[in-house]
Amino acid sequence: MPELNSRYRGRFAPSPSGPLHFGSLVAAVGSYLQAKSQQGDWLVRLEDIDQPRMVKGAADAILRSLELYGLHWDGDVWVQSQRLERYQQVLNQLSQQQLVYGCDCPRARTSQLAQGYDGHCRQRLLSQGSLAYRLKVPPTATEFTDLLQGQTLVPAALAQEDYILKRRDGLFAYQLVVVVDDIDQGITQVVRGADLIDVTTRQQALFTLLGAQAPSYLHLPLAVKEPGFKLSKQNHAPAISDWPISQTLSTALSFLGHPPPSELKGAPVHTLLHWAVCHWDLAAVPAVRELPLTMTLPAL
């Protein structure tokens, strides 16, 4: 009998620091197809925790783009800036377990540590002043198995340093909130861009410390070049909001190793996505790729 909680739950977690660009569309499409090809749920979460970096209107623009591309999410959109109490509660819990310590090291010191933070404040028991809070990271694996990239090594300095959970300016760090949210949303598989591959083991370690089972991880290839959509001679803005939707989706699918058949050229996004859900095969997705020139579309 299948486990009660075995249903696939994936997510797309954009940071609203700008509109959706081609790279984030690829992550959205890849995570959507992984979920929908397994009859799973696909959740959307706005990672606006780093408020100073957020751009007004970007969250709405991202959601509008997802709708335009036919990427309909399940349930409500979660917004990190509305969950601060929950993050504080988890930080307190880790503190009670003696897994957190205050750090007042100036950036001038930490930025010079080539091997990552050196645990300087671990035994200092600081409680006064403006402090960052760091996780006492236990000996942590420096490799993991990625579902697309295979066995993946992570720099030890990143895997094993006592990383920051709450910043000195009072903001919770991405590394904490991403794990809390993945736990609270019951995410079974994380599909995201390969730029986040190196932080995977530290996130897995936090799942364990919080008594939760970590999801599996799949890191999609990064679009290192943007396709050559040219809307006007002056406009090379990377936001995809003005690009031709059907062609852009086809390009994203081609990038993910699933070029739609020629009879679907120009088909509506729902038709393209339906085709992609039915034909999605992880074995066809390239682990690494640079956008080939042949994917560049002609100027409009």
Residues that bind ligand GLU (CB under 6 A): 13-15, 47, 178, 192, 196
Q: Closest CB to ligand GLU among 15 and 248?
A: 15
Residue type, 224: V
Given Zn ion, ligand GLU, none, residue 162, with its beta carbon under 5 to 8 Å by kind, binds none
C-beta of 270: minimal distance to ligand GLU in Å? 25
Kindly tell me which of 113 and 288 has the beta carbon lying closer to Zn ion: 113
In the list ligand GLU, Zn ion, none, the entry touching 121 (Cβ below 5 to 8 angstroms by class) is Zn ion
253-262 long-range Cβ contacts below 8 angstroms, 24+ apart: 253/29, 254/295, 255/26, 255/221, 255/223, 255/289, 255/291, 255/295, 256/26, 256/29, 256/30, 256/33, 256/220, 256/221, 256/285, 256/286, 257/284, 257/285, 257/286, 258/33, 258/284, 258/285
CB-wise, 105 or 164, nearer to ligand GLU?
164
93 in helix, strand or coil?
helix
Q: Which does 161 bind (CB under 5 to 8 A by kind): Zn ion, ligand GLU, none?
A: none
Residues near Zn ion (CB under 5 A)? 103, 105, 120-121
- Quick one: what does residue 120 bind among ligand GLU, Zn ion, none, with the CB cut-off 5 to 8 Å set by partner type? Zn ion
Question: What is the DSSP code string of 277-294?
Answer: HHH--GGGS-SS----GG
Pick between residue 16 and residue 260 the one whose CB is nearest to ligand GLU: 16
CA atoms within 13 A on the CB side of 223: 26
Q: Which does 105 bind (CB under 5 to 8 A by kind): Zn ion, ligand GLU, none?
A: Zn ion
Q: How far apart are CA 22 and CA 136, in angstroms?
A: 37
DSSP letter at 113 equals -
Instruction: For Zn ion, give the closer residue by CB, 27 or 121.
Output: 121
Q: How far is the CB of 127 from ligand GLU (least distance, A)?
A: 31
Name the minimum Å distance from CB 192 to ligand GLU.
4
Min dist CB 15 to ligand GLU, Å, is 4
Helix (H, G, I), strand (E, B) or coil at 56: coil
